[in-house]
Amino acid sequence: MAGAGAALYKIGGVFDDVSDTIRVGTGASGKSLADMEQIAKNIGTTVPSSFEDIGASVADVNTRLGLTGDPLQKVTAQFLELGNMGIDADINEVSAALSGFGIKGAEIEGSMDKLFQVSQATGLSVTELSTSVVKAGPALRNFGFGLGESAALVGQLDKSGMDADKTLASMSRAMQAFAKEGKDGKQALFGT
C-alpha cells in the first residue's frame, strides 16, 4: 500500500507539473486551464509521449494556433505523433505556414495531414516544407496555390534536384516584374 501511495503521489506531481506548464505557456486559468489539462490527459491515453511533452505541446499549439477543444486535442496529437515517428515538425515553422495561408481552426488538421503526406512522398521534413512555403508564400499565393499545393511544389522541386527556395524566389521576382508591367502573373506564366 505504501508503494501504491508513493506512485499515486508521483503521478499527482506529474499532473501538477503539466498544469504548471500549460498555465505558464498559455496564461490560462479557471475553466480554460481545466479544459487544457483534460486534453493533455486525453492525449496521454492515446499517444505514447511523456506527460511533460504533452503539456508543453498543448501549450504551444494553443498559443501558436489559437486552438481549443477538440481541434486542440487533435492537432496536438498530430504534432506528438510526428515527433514519435522521427519527423521534424517544428510548431513555430508549421504555424507560420498555416497562418500565412490563412488556415485556421478545424482546417488545420487536414492541412497537417497534407504536409505529412508531402513529407513522406518527398523525404523533406514537415519543418523544411513549412520553412520553404513561408519564404515563398506571397508569390505562391499570388499564383493561386494553397498550402498543400505549395508544399507539393516545394517537395517536387527538391526531389527533382532543384533548389526549391531559389526557384521560388525567381518566381517571386517574375511576379513582381509582371505586376510592374500591369500583367497578371499567374495568367502570364500559366496562361490561365
Q: What is the pLDDT of residues 108-161, one digit of tens each?
A: 999 999 999 999 999 999 999 999 999 988 888 877 889 999 999 999 999 999
Q: Which of 192, 93, 188, 111 is nearest to 150 (CA)?
A: 111
Contact 92, 64 (CB under 8 A): yes
Identify the CA nearest to 61 among candidates 12, 16, 101, 99.
99
Mean pLDDT to the nearest integer, 57-74: 96
Instruction: Please give the model's pTM, rounded to 2 decimal places.
Output: 0.82
pLDDT beyond 60 at 12: no
Dist. CA 149–CA 130, nearest whole Å: 12
Q: What is the rounded distance in angstroms from the CA atom of residue 21 to the CA atom of residue 42? A: 16
Q: Where do we find the cell 496562361? A: 191
- What one-character DSSP code corresponds to residue 47? S
Cell matching residue 130: 513549412
C-beta separation of 25 from 40 below 8 A:
no
